[in-house]
């Protein structure tokens, strides 16, 4: 009857070659003296070499068999302890580990691409909204310095329409239509009625501002300089509209979330043989970290909901009012 490849024993597993060596050792039991001792030592050494070669034939086999050999005697010594680290469970965990190892690069690429795409959208929105401060301040600064003294009423109108540029863009980016509520203290009654009737308030506010500057009869070079700021505002409005109306494809977002959830579901089965009862804690930490990165990508995908737009709007309005109220002090300062 042929010997099996492996069978359990007190010290772990006995290989077929070790059984043959043990049989040979029994047959040489009658050898006495120095020659018998040398033969027994040689047979014992060959048995150790055979065991070493057998366990080292494959890296994965060596790893999982060593887990079983470490756990087997411990379970046998403690009769009440559950026998969890068995050869069958080790093989199953190895299969789960290989499956997760083959798909981990795909999960990493999906999360990285998802987060990078969302961050690019957030950074572009932040850049355009940060430029609103410079646009409103430049328009008001140039008009306050270049408008003649007899056209201060037009300068006040320019200040009103410049101050509403950022509030109108904020409402436009967030799909808000309550123009009469947010601008009732910024514009006159007839100006407010006009803004309620238009379909694109930011664009029409820029048009009114351009007409006010053109009616001041400023030199052509000065009008071009102010108009560059208005053109930059229109470009920022168009960029914000693109970010608002063209989100990341829904299929890409859904597939990333589903793939990540399935991967995390199989993670405990692969980690059980290595961590044992600590596996739930390790799984919770890994899940928190990966889902946290995914959640960050989802939140910054819509940048107009996370950017401090209210603070930027308030800063623009305060700058416009300060320039309007104190530009005369600058002229008096230069006359001294």
Lowest mean pLDDT, pick from 38-42, 171-175, 272-276: 38-42
Q: Is the pLDDT of residue 81 over 80?
A: no
For residue 67, the model assigns a pLDDT of 43
For CA atoms 118, 124, 127, 130, give the dihedral sign: negative
Helices (DSSP H) in the chain: which residue ranges? 16-27, 33-55, 59-77, 87-146, 152-163, 165-173, 179-182, 189-197, 201-215, 220-245, 250-275, 279-300, 309-335
pLDDT for the residue 14: 41
Nearest to 6 by CA among 47, 51, 46, 48: 51
Owner of token pair 């069978």: 7
Please give the biggest Cα pair distance in the chain.
129
Tell me the two tokens of residue 289. 């970290």
Decide if pLDDT at 134 tops 60: yes
Residue among 135, 151, 310 nearest 217 (CA): 151
What rounded mean pLDDT belongs to the chain? 77
Residue 52 pLDDT? 42
Q: Give 41's Cβ-side CA count (13 Å radius).
A: 7
Using the predicted structure, report yes or no on whether residue 64 has a pLDDT greater than 90: no
Task: Report residue 217: phi and psi, to 5°.
Answer: 55, 45
């Amino acid at each position: 009857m042929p010997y099996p490849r492996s069978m359990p024993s007190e010290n772990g597993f006995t290989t077929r070659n070790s059984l043959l060596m043990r049989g040979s050792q029994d047959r040489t039991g009658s050898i006495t003296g120095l020659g018998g001792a040398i033969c027994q030592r040689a047979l014992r050494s060959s048995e150790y070499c055979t065991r070493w070669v057998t366990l080292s034939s494959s890296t994965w086999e060596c790893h999982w068999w060593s887990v079983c050999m470490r756990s087997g005697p411990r379970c046998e010594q403690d009769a009440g302890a559950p026998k969890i680290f068995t050869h069958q469970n080790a093989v199953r965990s190895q299969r789960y580990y290989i499956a997760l190892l083959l798909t981990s690069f795909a999960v990493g690429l999906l999360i990285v691409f998802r987060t990078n795409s969302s961050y690019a959208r957030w950074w572009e929105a932040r850049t355009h909204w940060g430029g609103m401060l410079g646009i409103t301040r430049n328009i008001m600064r140039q008009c306050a310095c270049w408008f003649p003294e007899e056209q201060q009423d037009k300068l006040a109108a320019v200040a009103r329409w410049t101050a509403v540029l950022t509030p109108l863009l904020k409402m436009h980016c967030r799909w808000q239509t309550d123009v009469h509520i947010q601008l009732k203290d910024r514009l006159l009654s007839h100006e407010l009625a006009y803004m309620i009737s238009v379909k694109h308030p930011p664009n029409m506010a820029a048009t009114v501002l351009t007409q006010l500057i053109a009616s001041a009869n400023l030199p052509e070079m000065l009008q071009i300089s102010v108009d560059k700021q208005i053109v930059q505002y229109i470009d920022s409005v168009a960029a914000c509209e693109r970010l608002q109306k063209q989100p990341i494809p829904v299929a890409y977002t859904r597939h990333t979330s589903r793939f990540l959830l399935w991967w995390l579901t199989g993670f405990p089965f692969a980690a059980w043989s290595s961590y044992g009862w600590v596996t739930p804690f390790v799984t919770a930490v890994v899940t928190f970290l990966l889902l946290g990165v995914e959640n960050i990508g989802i939140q910054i995908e819509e940048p107009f909901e996370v950017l401090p737009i209210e603070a930027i709007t308030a800063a623009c309005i305060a700058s416009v009012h300060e320039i309007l109220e104190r530009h005369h002090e600058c002229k008096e300062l230069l006359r001294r």
